[in-house]
Amino acid sequence: MSMKDFSDSPFFRDPGPREQGDGHREPELNCAMNRREFAIGTGALTGAAAFKGPLHHFGPPAAAEETGAGTESKLVLALKINGENRRLHIDPRMTLLDLLREELGLTGTKKGCDHGQCGACTVLANGRRINSCLSFALVHEGEDITTVEGLARGDELHPMQVAFLEHDGFQCGYCTSGQICSAVALLQEHDRGDASFVTSDLNKAGAVELTPDEIRERMSGNICRCGAYPGIVAAVQMIREQKLGSKR
């Protein structure tokens, strides 16, 4: 894709400094949009005015005043990201992944296939791992989103991040943030007793033994082209054993 093509993307942002974003009150949250996309979006909203009924209708928000001209096609979204409340004006077409990366600068979450086939975009929504590329951001109104940036506490890495480092759970690193978010959720799912397709007895009391086969199946939504799978399995096992140890 040439630079010219890229500049035509609805998510293109002028590379100028954000704090000088045309006098917007929340400049870092401003969604860049070119004229063509803006015109199309505005037309679509006009059509929506025909709908009636007890619905939350997301017409041109009063909040548009906050961000000045050029926001008529955007809707208001309030959610919590990595512990911080955010209020944004976004195009309905924006996925959660693009919101994180293009609007909020949280580029730890990666865009791999953009079609739910690789898991690089995995984040936690209300604690559940999801593909952020296949989910429109507006669907997550009021939710609590955790990305890889939200796992560490200051300079102290999340134990799963430490385990990936110790066990070489990556090579190029592109899939790693998705792998780590996925692995964190895996252990929570396992703790509450979730089964997988390779679990032999669905009704046996107690937690399923987290064998390498179980870990591989439960991590199968995250593809690693470098083939760092043995290290990833070892990292998950290490944290699992640490947890078991702390319970003894």
* Positions in the binding site for other proteins (CB under 8 A): 40-41, 43-45, 47-48, 50-51, 53-58, 73, 75, 92-93, 95, 114-116, 119, 122, 128-131, 134-136, 138-139, 141, 182, 185-186, 189, 193-197, 199, 202-203, 216-218, 220-223
Q: Are 61 and 33 in contact (CB under 8 A)?
A: no
Nearer to other proteins, 21 or 215 (CB): 215
Residue in 123, 146, 136, 145 with CA at minimum distance from that of residue 58:
136
Task: Report, in Å, the least distance between residue 89 CB and other proteins.
Answer: 13
Pairing mode, strands 84-90 and 144-146: unpaired
Residue in 71, 73, 64 with CA at minimum distance from that of residue 46:
73
Residue in 208, 207, 219, 152 with CA at minimum distance from that of residue 182:
219
Ramachandran category for residue 75: left, alpha or beta (phi over 0 → left; psi -120 to 50 → alpha): beta
Residue in 168, 178, 188 with CA at minimum distance from that of residue 228:
168
Angle between helices 176-191 and 159-166 (to 10 degrees): 120
Task: Report, in Å, the least distance between residue 196 CB and other proteins.
Answer: 6
Nearer to other proteins, 3 or 50 (CB): 50
DSSP, res 130: E
3-class secondary structure, 120:
coil
Task: Report, in Å, the least distance between residue 177 CB and other proteins.
Answer: 13
Nearer to other proteins, 163 or 186 (CB): 186
Nearer to other proteins, 123 or 238 (CB): 123
Task: Report, in Å, the least distance between residue 211 CB and other proteins.
Answer: 14
Task: Report, in Å, the least distance between residue 138 CB and other proteins.
Answer: 6
What span, in angstroms and rounded, lies between the C-alpha atoms of 198 and 133?
27
Q: Which two tokens stand for residue 220?
A: 């199968």
Nearer to other proteins, 21 or 182 (CB): 182
Nearer to other proteins, 124 or 163 (CB): 124
Task: Report, in Å, the least distance between residue 208 CB and other proteins.
Answer: 11
